Amino acid sequence: MTIFPYMISHVTEIECLSQTELKQLQLFKGRAEDLALSQAKYQNVPMASYSKAQGSRVESFNANTPDIDHVTNLALKFRFFYADKEPTQFEKVANLLRRKAKDEWAVNYIDRLKLFFKESMKSKDITANLGHPISNREIINLWFNSNFFHSDLKKREKLASIHQVVGEQASLFQLYLAIVKCSSHIQALYVVIHKLNEDNQVLCTPSYHFRLNKQNQADA
């Protein structure tokens, strides 16, 4: 994982972490490194082309989606940052760091990453362009719980109904694109704590005061 000097030029201490919190953050770092290694196996920039007939029916869709085994492997690694019950879930870790941060610059930068992650989850990406907008969070939820990790029948039916409109290929590509986008914010949060350990409880952020406006603060 590449870490540019400008990303870590502002180093600040945080309030003392408990052993449980330290283990949680170390686990997050390990999971983030695993995800980055999996992504490195397929580094093409996601691209797609399509045509749509009247009535919102897709006539053709082409994308450079990796094969299903690679997407499944990415989903397996990404799930640790998505599932609510995981200690490494993105918002849980971001909120922990925000509570412990003493420095306003660090707090605002973490809030910015939280906002970006939330916006990526809310984005409707491909399906919106195809006339049947479904959020990335919903696409992830449906694929994970009806196909990859569980076999929820109602969610299988819902995903199948989406595929009838936009096609399975477009749905899978949006899933892949959603993981790629959200993973970039996971990697940014990893950089914030990449030096953190029991003896060096610090956060690394850019030397810039990322002030959020009132609306963004509410969203974060």
**What is the model's pLDDT at position 51?**
77
**What is the model's pLDDT at position 193?**
98
Burial class (CB in 10 A: 0-12, 13-18, 19+), 142: buried
pLDDT at 218 over 90: no
pLDDT confidence tier of residue 27, bands split at 50, 70 and 90: very high
Rounded-to-integer distance, Cα 118 and Cα 122, Å: 6
Side-chain half-sphere CA neighbours of 162 within 13 A: 26
**What is the model's pLDDT at position 213?**
65
* Whether pTM exceeds 0.95: no
**What is the model's pLDDT at position 130?**
86
**Distance spanning both ends of the chain, measured CA to CA:** 26
Domain extent at residue 152: 5-219
Helix 168-193 crosses helix 104-122 at what angle (to 10 degrees)?
Answer: 170
Helix (H, G, I), strand (E, B) or coil at 176: helix
Rounded-to-integer distance, Cα 120 and Cα 114, Å: 10
Rounded-to-integer distance, Cα 90 and Cα 122, Å: 15
User: How many distinct structural domains can be found in the chain?
Assistant: 1
pLDDT at 157 over 70: yes
